[in-house]
């Protein structure tokens, strides 16, 4: 669980930066109650799962009941981040069409935070995430949790994230400092807008810091 800095080091500049993102998200949703957040990236290895996990922790630390969902049904790794088994998860729930979602959800050692891992790798990830079964799952989840945070695959590589983008209140796009190209961000933003996704901001990740600066920056879009 070394990646869970918001849990292991709650006073760090990384955690403070994530708390600022949390606050910005809450204040940006005045007209609509914030219930579902999608976190994606333009490309692989941008740190979106790291951001998803730690942002979920900051919401849980704010006394909100949080469900973190691994929607990367191809290469999901949240079970590794939290050191949990992945015997069953989201794909199993959707494939089995089970109405009892609690048996698929795993508790963590972090108070107020539960996780739905990816489960088995299905042959049709995009179809599952675009299905009515997935919408029904989100509807049930938001009745039981204050916040549902969805970690999805990169938006420029597969259509999985786009299947979810229109079903959430806010989309956060993670980019890597000095690595992600402007045209890649532009392409990702275009994809999100084309499906009706509400882009709340871009998180610049992996920026070198000193004691007076933050690890990442949040830009409201």
Cα 91 off chain centre by: 16
| Local structure of 180: helix, strand or coil | coil
> Which of these, 3, 7, 6, lies nearest to 16 by C-alpha position?
6
* Alpha-carbon span 115 to 101, nearest angstrom: 11
Residue 195 lies in a domain: yes
- Examine residue 131 and state whether it is found in any structural domain, yes or no: yes
| Number of domains the chain contains | 1
Which CATH number do you get for residue 180? 3.40.50.300
Domain that holds residue 81: 33-220
Give strand pairing partners of 40: 173
Does some domain include residue 56? yes
- Domain presence at residue 13: no
pLDDT, residue 101, reads 92
Establish if 21 belongs to a structural domain. no
Residue 76 CA to residue 218 CA, distance in Å, equals 24
The tokens of 66 are what? 């949080």
Instruction: Answer yes or no: is 9 within a domain.
Output: no
4 phi and psi, to 5 degrees? -85, 65
The pLDDT value recorded for residue 219 is 47
List per-residue pLDDT tens for the chain, 221 residues long: 678 999 999 889 889 999 999 998 988 766 678 999 999 999 998 999 999 999 999 999 999 999 999 999 999 999 999 999 999 999 999 998 777 899 999 999 999 999 999 999 999 999 999 999 999 999 999 999 999 999 999 998 888 889 899 999 999 999 998 888 999 999 999 999 999 999 999 998 866 655 444 445 544 44
């Amino acid at each position: 669980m070394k990646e869970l800095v918001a849990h292991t080091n709650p006073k760090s500049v990384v955690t403070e930066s994530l708390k600022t993102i949390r606050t910005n998200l809450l204040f940006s949703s005045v007209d609509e109650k914030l219930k579902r957040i999608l976190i994606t990236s333009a490309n692989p290895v941008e740190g979106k799962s790291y951001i998803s996990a730690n942002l979920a922790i900051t919401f849980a630390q704010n006394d909100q009941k949080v469900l973190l969902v691994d929607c990367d049904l191809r290469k999901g790794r949240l079970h590794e981040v939290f050191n949990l088994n992945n015997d069953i998860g989201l794909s199993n729930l959707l494939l089995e069409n089970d109405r009892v979602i609690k048996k698929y959800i795993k508790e963590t050692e972090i108070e107020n935070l539960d996780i739905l891992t990816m489960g088995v790798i299905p042959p049709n990830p995009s179809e599952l995430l675009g299905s009515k079964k997935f919408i029904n799952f989100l509807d049930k989840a938001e009745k039981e949790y204050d916040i549902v945070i969805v970690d999805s695959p990169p938006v420029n590589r597969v259509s999985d994230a786009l299947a979810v983008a229109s079903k959430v209140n806010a989309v956060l796009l993670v980019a890597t400092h000095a690595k992600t190209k402007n045209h890649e961000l532009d392409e990702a933003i275009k994809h999100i807008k084309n499906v009706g996704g509400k882009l709340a901001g871009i998180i610049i990740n992996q920026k070198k810091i000193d004691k007076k600066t933050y690890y990442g920056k949040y830009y409201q879009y």
